Chain A
Amino acid sequence: MEKGLETTGIPSMEELEKTPGFPSSKRLMEGPVAVIECLQEIPCDPCETACPLGAIEVGKPITNLPELDEDKCTGCGICIPLCPGLAIFVIDYTYSEDEALVTFPYEFLPLPEEDSLVNATDRSGRPLTKGRIVKVLARKQFDRTVVVSIAVLKKYAQRVRGIVLNRGKGE
């Protein structure tokens, strides 16, 4: 079957690299930076004001793709819980010698525990590698979207986009 966002729901690397929200590999190597995986021209713009440094621009018309100013972005992650599409991540390739830190939004229960080892999943939800939960941030202003950071081997950082825990049965 054809690959890509429109047929599978999973953006391909080629599609991602073409979008203005995707930082250059040079910038990625320099430290934490936002990765905006928002690839279609839809009427949406909360990310633009979410960033206190003005590193994201949608402009007019509102259907423009969000553009990242990678030099302004410090990778602080404030924009992550404010994007209703849950489409923004932060990657830090400088986290440790062999690990990168991937930060992503999470809206399921149970929440992961800090320092626990969990299955890190790729964009299709498949477990890819083990990762260590470094931070679980739940803030009132995040309005119930929790921001989770996981350390994984550097070679997986561009593919890890979440975790899988045994989701509770609602009870």
Chain B
Amino acid sequence: MLTTDVVVVGGGSAGLAAAIESSKAGAEVLLIDENARPGGQLFKQIHKFFGSRRHYAGIRGFEIGRRLLEEAHKNEVEIKLNTIIFGILGNKIGIVEDKTHAKWLKAKTIIFSCGASEKLISFPGWTLPGVMGAGAAQTIINLHRVLPGSRFLMIGSGNVGLVVSYQILQAGAEVVAIIEALPKIGGYGIHASKIRRAGVQIAVSHTIKEAYGKDKVEAVTIGALDKNMNLVPGSEKRFKVDVICLAVGLKPNIELPLMAGCETMFLANLGGQVPIHDENMETTVEGIYVAGDCAGIEEVSTAIESGRLAGIAVAEKLGYLTKNEAYDVKVNLREVLDELRGGPFGMQRKYAKQQLIRRAAHLKGV
């Protein structure tokens, strides 16, 4: 059986960054992704990313993906695409290549960087064709260049809802409104302002009541919410739409870490159940690490830095870096991560991450 130093599961920004660092340090790295192309979230993102210049901010998402991938190739990271994982047993990973060949791999260490998936909400009519995830809409629009409809309603005003709405306009369709159940817009002001300037209303304290249609979505009713999140009687408005997009949050993909026996904890500010990890990104199972959105929903800069951190820590564990060599790099990466998690939006995540690390220390008896 093949034994690899590091198997990285998920080739988004975090996985690529982790693979690059471990490989640079001399480890043998195999990166696995279930998708036909690497890059994760980045390839359908056509906007210029906010973030830090050190992490490619100001560049469009697909271009960030291209650059990371180039660096991974330069550093001789082996990439296996179209590969599904069916099981994890100790340090053995069961994979299915190209949907046909099943086999087992042995890994000295594993880094899970399998990203996140969309959360859902249900309402009367939510199963009608035309109701879809915002990420699903983004894939079909930006990657395949097909508009699933012409009049969209966006549910959720986080960055995903705001950014995808803007991209729907760029594709030539209309966004009738963005509605948000909370009394405040969830995403960044810059994104909200950009979509407002393009003429799209953002209605806070509003929810969807029902979607109507015979064989597909034809109309929707929304209504206002009071302080206790109850529908205000008489506030309902009905209008025509043919697509309803759900952008109500992301949650870390923890199925594989769970399969591997990693313990999780619930932290709303990181998207829900998150694998517990220490300050080296190591989970409660020795030799298994997490990085990026899989370790808590954040941003590309943090995904890259947490990936690097995991990559360095793994290289240290395997003896490719001495304690001293790894130390300075890790301290520096942690400082950068800390700085990125500042401001009113980042603070919450910083506290949540600290909780995770404390819990890990407690469980490991440190």
Contacts and interface: CB of A to CB of B under 8 A. Distances in A.
Given A43-B346, A123-B193, A125-B196, A9 B185 contact: yes
Contact of B343 (A1, A8, A9, A43): A43
A127 B202 CA distance: 18
Interface in B31-76: 47-53, 57-60
B193 A42 contact: no
Contacts of B188: 40, 42, 85
Given A39-B189, A170-B147, A171-B172, A9 B196 contact: yes
A43 B195 CA distance: 20
Interface residues of A, number: 50
A46 interface: yes
B143 to A, nearest CB: 15
Interface residues of B, number: 46
A162 interface: yes
A43 B197 contact: no
Given A6-B185, A38-B190, A82-B58, A108 B346 contact: no
Interface of A is mostly: loop
Contact of A145 (B48, B172, B344): B48
Given A11-B193, A42-B190, A167-B169, A125 B200 contact: yes
Interface string A41-77: 1111110111000000000111100000000000000
A9 B342 contact: no
B196 A143 contact: no
Given A61-B339, A125-B199, A125-B200, A87 B190 contact: yes
B276 to A, nearest CB: 24
A107 interface: yes
Which of the listed residues A44, A82, A161, A171 has the most CB atoms from chain B within 10 Å of its own CB? A44
Which of the listed residues A9, A40, A109 has the most CB atoms from chain B within 10 Å of its own CB? A9
Contacts of A117: none
A100 B341 CA distance: 40
A10 interface: yes
Given A9-B189, A123-B193, A143 B198 contact: no
Interface in B150-193: 150, 169-173, 183-185, 188-193
B346 A87 contact: no
B85 interface: no
Closest 7 CB pairs between A and B? A170-B172, A125-B199, A85-B190, A41-B343, A9-B192, A46-B58, A63-B343
Interface of B: 47-53, 57-60, 147, 150, 169-173, 183-185, 188-200, 202, 204, 299, 301, 339-346
